[in-house]
Amino acid sequence: MLWKKESNSPNTLYEDLFDRKTIAMVDKMFPMSNRNPVPRKNDVISLQKRKEGNRSFANGKWAEAIEKYNESLCFATTASEHISLAYANRASCFLHLKLYNECLIDIDLARKAGYPERLMPKLDQREGDCLKGRDDSIPLNEFNQKLSFEPDEKIPCMANVLKIEKNDAGKLSMVAKDNIDVGQTIILGKPFCVYLYSRFAWKCNICLKDNTNLVSCKKCTNVMFCSDECQSNDLHNHECGLKFIDDGQQNAQYLNEIRVLLLAINIFHSNIDELMSFVEQTVKSEPPREVPMSLADDQSKYRAFLKFPISAQFARRPDFLLLVYSIYKACQTIPYIAAKFSSLKHRRFLMHLIAHHIQITNFNSYQVNNQKTHGVDFYHQIGLMTKYFRHSCAPNVLMTERDGISIYTAIRSIKKGDELFISYFKFLGLPKHVRQQELWNQVHIKCNCSRCMGAAASSDQRQQLATDPDFPLILSSASNLSPYASQKIEDTIEKCIAFLTKYGQIKWCDEIGEAVDAYIKTLDCRIPRPLFT
């Protein structure tokens, strides 16, 4: 491997990837001096954010107010009265949302943070109102979804009715070992890595959980945690307060890559030589697309990550090496990483590892964007199971995400021996030529699924679907759901499952697509998302 070359000349450190022109360009563009640090704690800003939350609260925008109160918590200085006031105000939002458990937790947090005695009667009244309404509480944090089957012994996040294998073309595919009914959960996968790019007061920085009693980092102003476990995670310790450039998206991309690197270092307990050996063996091993022997431990998960497909076109872009060197330089400003990669051999390895990681994350990240401002990312996450499913414009499995967990649910009847397909993107209702172009632009795939090749339901079957009395009922119910109408949600899910099961063997058509879309919308309402605005 290139990083093993011996040399006493510092200049040869860069010869594997970078020429002097690239280095000079990056040094000029990105000084990496941390010259514009993340804003510090500031009670004036904390008060301003709380007032903004109060205005949203007065207009009945509870979710918007919660996010502003979270921002107030992020800016409040240690032991400041603003902390307890933000908790108390957030408790009032939870009370109006009928999230009584969350309300009580915030009331307790407000008291522990030194809530002013002069205002204590108001807090006591809020607690009394909360206790009175507990029987009518929305069970928001009941996200305890389970697999519909026993977990696979070697891949615990996957049901034991699935197997990963290679098809005749040598491509990985997911195949059913038994019949799978509509609505059954077959994979619950935690991502290998997540990173919150913006709206820092929306989700936990470590696991992406929202809709809960987030607490702020004690040092910086752009990180919140959902639990003691996430707060004790050491990933953020090395990232805390870092800001390399003014561009928020670019800076977040650097920090995302740094987090992946930190994960790799931690997996091997900071033994860089062991990490080097593992990466070399994995990258060079055949076949490049391998069926995983296990995903039960961190090293096997990292191996699966390193085996992700990458785009050769991306690596040929003129700015690719600029990006690699920029992130390498950013890593050198972090004492923990710089100390781990202090020798010439280790620094050269670091460059190549960053280059490989960037190609993987660029091609395999699941991104959630701002719906109003396209191109601005909220967060990225990299799951490990998506690559084992091939894309289809007539999928039989839905992949959704909640609290950082990837949930795979059967949306068509699946028979033993059938291959399982997901749609990589949310454009199933578009014409074929648009779908094909989008796939090619984004992941360089030409779809040859049954739908794109012309297979479709007959006119008689479509007539049967359209005239089924349950068909309009499903569409109507799914279009008028409230995330708090739990019984109606469950009733609609039951109707969708029955309808899709009844017509499970009919090929994809517009009517099936509409029924699937109604089912997806209903599933999305099962877990309310009041903070998603």
Query: Token pair for residue 406?
Result: 């990837």
Query: In this structure, are residues 17 and 352 in contact, taking their beta carbons and an 8 Å threshold?
Result: yes
Whether residue 251 sits in one domain with residue 356: yes
Torsional class of 404: left (φ above 0), alpha (ψ -120 to 50), beta (otherwise): left
pLDDT at 319: 83
Whether residue 369 sits in one domain with residue 334: yes
Q: How far is CA 532 from CA 79, 99, 130, 403, in A?
A: 30, 16, 24, 12
Whether residue 373 sits in one domain with residue 442: no
The C-alpha atoms of residue 488 and residue 482 are separated, in whole angstroms, by 9
The C-alpha atoms of residue 123 and residue 106 are separated, in whole angstroms, by 10
Q: In a structure prediction context, what are the per-residue pLDDT tens digits for the chain, which is 533 residues long? A: 444 444 443 333 444 566 666 667 666 665 555 455 678 999 999 999 999 999 999 999 998 999 999 999 999 999 999 999 999 999 999 999 888 889 999 999 999 999 999 999 999 999 999 988 776 655 544 445 789 999 999 999 999 999 999 988 888 999 999 999 999 999 999 899 999 888 899 899 999 888 889 999 999 999 999 999 999 988 999 989 888 888 888 888 899 999 999 999 999 999 999 999 999 999 888 777 789 999 999 999 999 999 998 877 888 888 888 888 889 988 988 999 999 999 988 998 999 999 999 999 988 887 776 555 555 668 888 889 988 999 999 999 998 888 888 899 999 999 999 999 999 887 778 889 899 998 888 777 888 888 999 888 999 999 999 999 999 999 998 888 876 677 888 899 999 999 999 999 899 999 999 999 999 888 877 654 544 44
In a domain, 146, yes or no: no
The C-alpha atoms of residue 348 and residue 460 are separated, in whole angstroms, by 65
Exposure b/e, 225-248, CB count within 10 A at least 16 = b: bbbeebbebebbebbebbbbbeee
- Can you give the CATH number for the domain in which 69 is found? 1.25.40.10
- Can you give the CATH number for the domain in which 397 is found? 2.170.270.10
Q: How far from chain centre, in Å, is Cα 510?
A: 30
In a domain, 150, yes or no: no
Q: How far from chain centre, in Å, is Cα 472?
A: 34
Query: In this structure, are residues 63 and 531 in contact, taking their beta carbons and an 8 Å threshold?
Result: yes
pLDDT at 14: 41
Pairing assessment for the beta strands 419-422 and 390-391 based on DSSP bridges: parallel
In the chain, count H helices and then E strands. Answer: 20, 12
Degrees to nearest 5, angle at CA 352 with 348 and 354: 115
What's 528's DSSP letter?
-
Helix (H) / strand (E) element for 174: namely strand 172-176
> Taking Cα atoms as reference points, which of 459, 470, 431, 416 lies closest to residue 181?
416
Whether residue 374 sits in one domain with residue 310: yes
In a domain, 145, yes or no: no
Q: How far is CA 337 from CA 14, 35, 362, 481, in A?
A: 18, 20, 22, 49
Whether residue 172 sits in one domain with residue 126: no
Pairing assessment for the beta strands 193-196 and 185-189 based on DSSP bridges: unpaired
In a domain, 142, yes or no: no
Whether residue 472 sits in one domain with residue 515: yes
Domain-ending residue, one of 352, 379, 406: 379
Helix (H) / strand (E) element for 350: namely helix 344-364
Domain span including residue 415: 156-190+389-447
Query: In this structure, are residues 421 and 396 in contact, taking their beta carbons and an 8 Å threshold?
Result: yes
Backbone angles phi, psi at 164, to 5 degrees: -100, 130
In a domain, 149, yes or no: no
Could you tell me the sign of the dihedral formed by the alpha carbons of 221, 224, 229, 233, in that order? Answer: negative
In a domain, 314, yes or no: yes
In a domain, 121, yes or no: yes
pLDDT at 533: 43
Helix (H) / strand (E) element for 323: namely helix 320-332
CA atoms within 13 A on the CB side of 342: 6
Q: How far is CA 410 from CA 187, 260, 284, 450, 504, in A?
A: 10, 31, 36, 18, 11
**Partners of 414 in beta bridges:** 180
> Taking Cα atoms as reference points, which of 46, 49, 40, 88 lies closest to residue 218?
40
CA atoms within 13 A on the CB side of 108: 8
Query: In this structure, are residues 66 and 44 in contact, taking their beta carbons and an 8 Å threshold?
Result: no
What strand order describes the sheet that includes 377-382?
Answer: 193-196, 377-382, 366-369
Degrees to nearest 5, angle at CA 426 with 423 and 428: 75
Residues 6+ apart with CB under 8 A from 179: 413, 414, 415, 416
**For the chain, how many structural domains are there in total?**
4
Whether residue 304 sits in one domain with residue 276: yes
Whether residue 288 sits in one domain with residue 205: yes
Domain-ending residue, one of 333, 358, 379: 379
Question: Strand, coil or helix: what is 462?
Answer: helix
Whether residue 285 sits in one domain with residue 238: yes
The C-alpha atoms of residue 44 and residue 72 are separated, in whole angstroms, by 10
Query: In this structure, are residues 495 and 471 in contact, taking their beta carbons and an 8 Å threshold?
Result: no
Whether residue 393 sits in one domain with residue 296: no
**Three-class secondary structure assignment of 372-406:** CCCCCEEEEEECCCHHHCEECCCCCEEEEEECCEE
Whether residue 301 sits in one domain with residue 198: yes
Domain-ending residue, one of 358, 379, 400: 379
Whether residue 218 sits in one domain with residue 234: yes
**Three-class secondary structure assignment of 249-301:** HHHHHHHHHHHHHHHHHHHCCCCHHHHHHHHHHHHHCCCCCCCCCCCCCHHHH
In a domain, 69, yes or no: yes
